[in-house]
Amino acid sequence: MCGIVGYIGKKNSKEVILKGLSRLEYRGYDSAGIAVHSNGINQLKTSGKVADLDAKCIKEKLPKSSIGIGHTRWATHGIPNDTNAHPHQDITRNFTLVHNGIIENYLTLKKYLAQNGIECKSDTDTEVLVQLISYIYNKDKISFEESVRYALMKVVGAYGIVVLCGDEPDKIIAARHGSPLVFGIGDSEFIIASDTSPIIEFTRKIVYLDDAELVVFTRDDYYVKSILENHIILKTVNEIQFSLNQIEKNGYDHFMLKEINEQSNSIAESMRGRIIIDEGRIKLGGLQEAIQDILNAKRIIITACGTSWHASLIGSFVIEELVRIPVNVEYASEFRYRETIVGPDTVLFAISQSGETADTLAAIKKAKSLGALTIGVVNVVGSSIARETDHGVYIHAGPEIGVASTKAFTSQVTVLNLIAILLAQAKDRNIKEVANLVNDLKLLPEKVELILKQSKKIKSIADNYIDAENFLYLGRGYQFPVALEGALKLKEISYIHAEGYPAAEMKHGPIALIDENMPVVFIVNEKGYEKIISNIQEVRARGGKVIIVTSIDQEELHEYSSHVIHVPSIHQCILPILTTIPLQLLAYYLAKAKGCDVDQPRNLAKSVTVE
């Protein structure tokens, strides 16, 4: 959440920062701001999007400068207005700072500052930090770097910050604790950002900042230090793994549509080199050393949030079916605060697209502290979760920019299937069943293509429901998490209220909602077919409108519904991948028809780095 960019080099920093912010806008888009050095600090902020900030920079003639910082905000403390937008300046106007995260003890610090004659202007937690840096600098007469370091030692909470100081116009200082920061090393230039997307245009050489680290950039050098011990840390320089092309829209109206359409390729990438064709065996390098520990574990927990939690639920079903080990699926935000039974004989899988979700990261840290073995299933290479876990498997879906997760979900389910197969093979269980699943996995990409060819049909179905105020999604077994995911996709981008339920649960409450205005999406598969047909009849008897997504070719389904969307049949463990895609498209076309901002839905942000 919140996007940060800082630049020091030879270019006009405004251009670099605004371009970078627009690439980071999926992290937050309620207000934006920029500060550059040019005879003191010049700063502009506005509520609204990066495009509004760009217009303000032109109108108010932001001076040219080769050093600056910028921010795109997802509000936590204080409404999105010009005052609360970042950067925040201290009262002497000597320091300015952008921040991602939450300063949890900001009220205590604010009181302390007030007692010393410093009043904050904004409602944010962030302003307190810049005022504190300035207060320490003026009181203790110490350097810019030392003032930042001392101030950070007083902070409780999470931060990724970048700071400028008017007295030292050739320097940028950045620091991290709990919120991601990465910097790129260019040719006599450095660019620091919340993730790699603004960096790739300038360099592929990057360094990930770790928690409790601070970096100081001068015009031609940098060094990284420990905030607590103040000693120099030698960092590894990594390579960015994706291309610029992968983070462009490439002719699509929205990133979400592009990413939905990429799924046959992204799923193939998730499997590339991992199925040994001749033997039908699975190879996952990052898991090789953990297999026995997983099989010997007393408890397996999968933890995640949102869409990744839905993928986890499917993963747990597959592991239980194929490997016959019990698996619990936990919301990371609940797991971390519950008195869960975790110990050295527990294995915790953490599933995350961004690899930065604060609750998931905290759940991993808690499990680790109790002795559990942790395994990450992550998309973003080099992300915090990928680095925090003991072992890991990347899903290799490629960059996902659309705020609503699509291709990451189908790749997560694919990789969780690969993990289940690997474990079943290591245990010599369900050999025939597993072989069938492996064969069907190979067919996934071409079957996904067949679904994508139905986009026009799905769009015309969506057109019938523009005025719907509620939707219900119902499925059984493997299709229950799909119902949850279909409902989440719809509500987050179209703002239509939607609920997902196990189909049989309908009669325990939600059935009260059904009338002629309620569209109900049933995801129908073979297991429990007769039962779900009864549920469909119950909805019809109450006037509800039925939409069916199914792999079953039965004439009666057309009779019982207003619309049927067919997906090819495939092994039930991976059928959720196919049945989810029409629901992604349905949500997309409904949101688009309603004129919603599909890639930047209100109140949301990708990469939820606050708790």
Catalytic residue among 2, 165, 305, 573: 2
DSSP-assigned letter for residue 318: H
Cα–Cα distance between 429 and 149 in angstroms, integer?
55
Burial of 564 (C-beta count, 10 Å sphere; 0-12/13-18/19+): buried
Q: 475 in helix, strand or coil?
A: strand
From 10-18, 96-104, 347-355, 467-475, span contacting ligand F6R (CB under 6 A): 347-355
Show the tokens assigned to 190. Answer: 């450095």
Distance CA 190, CA 337 (A): 39
The DSSP letter of residue 246 is G
Instruction: Find the shortest distance in angstroms from Cβ 23 to ligand F6R.
Output: 17
Least CB distance from residue 307 to ligand F6R, whole Å?
A: 3
Q: Is 382 in the site for ligand F6R (CB under 6 A)?
A: no
Residue 608 in contact with ligand F6R, rule: CB under 6 A: yes
State the nearest-atom distance from the C-beta of 404 to ligand F6R, in Å.
Answer: 4
Indicate which single residue of 316, 353, 414, 561 sits in contact with ligand F6R (rule: CB under 6 A). 353
Q: Which is nearer to ligand F6R, 120 or 302 (CB)?
A: 302
Q: Could you give the CA distance from residue 265 to residue 274 in angstroms, rounded to a whole number?
A: 15
Residue closer to ligand F6R by CB (options 291, 381) is 381
Task: Give the total of residues touching ligand F6R (CB under 6 A).
Answer: 15
* 404 forms part of the interface with ligand F6R (CB under 6 A): yes
Q: Which of 352, 411, 414, 572 binds ligand F6R (CB under 6 A)?
A: 352
340 vs 379, which CB is nearer to ligand F6R?
Answer: 379
The token pair at 422 is 């690997």
24 binds ligand F6R (CB under 6 A): no
Structural contact between residues 104 and 157, judged by C-beta atoms closer than 8 angstroms: yes
Number of Cβ atoms within 10 Å of the Cβ of 328? 16
Q: Which stretch, 353-361, 476-484, 545-553, 556-564, contacts ligand F6R (CB under 6 A)?
A: 353-361
User: Which residue of 266, 354, 425, 479 would you call a contact of ligand F6R, by CB under 6 A?
Assistant: 354
| Minimum distance, C-beta of residue 304 to ligand F6R, in the bound complex (Å) | 6
Name which position in 66, 147, 179, 405 contacts ligand F6R (CB under 6 A): 405
C-alpha distances in Å from residue 377, one per residue of 386, 415, 575: 8, 8, 20
Query: Is 606 part of the annotated catalytic residue set?
Result: yes
| Nearest of 163, 191, 190 to residue 176 by alpha carbon | 163
- Of 72-91, binders to ligand F6R (CB under 6 A) are none
The answer to whether 577 and 410 are in contact (CB under 8 A) is yes
Structure token digits, residue 468: 């719907």
Q: How far is the CB of 466 from ligand F6R (least distance, A)?
A: 21
Residue among 187, 209, 182, 213 nearest 198 (CA): 182
Identify which of residues 47 and 607 has a Cβ nearer to ligand F6R in the complex.
607
| Site for ligand F6R, residues 298 to 327, rule: CB under 6 A | 305-308
Catalytic residue among 110, 258, 447, 606: 606
Determine the Cα–Cα distance for residues 609 and 56; give it in Å rounded to an integer: 28
- Count other C-beta atoms under 10 Å from residue 115's C-beta: 8
Active site (catalytic) residues: 2, 606
Q: Which residues bind ligand F6R (CB under 6 A)?
A: 305-308, 352-354, 357, 360, 404-405, 488, 492, 607-608
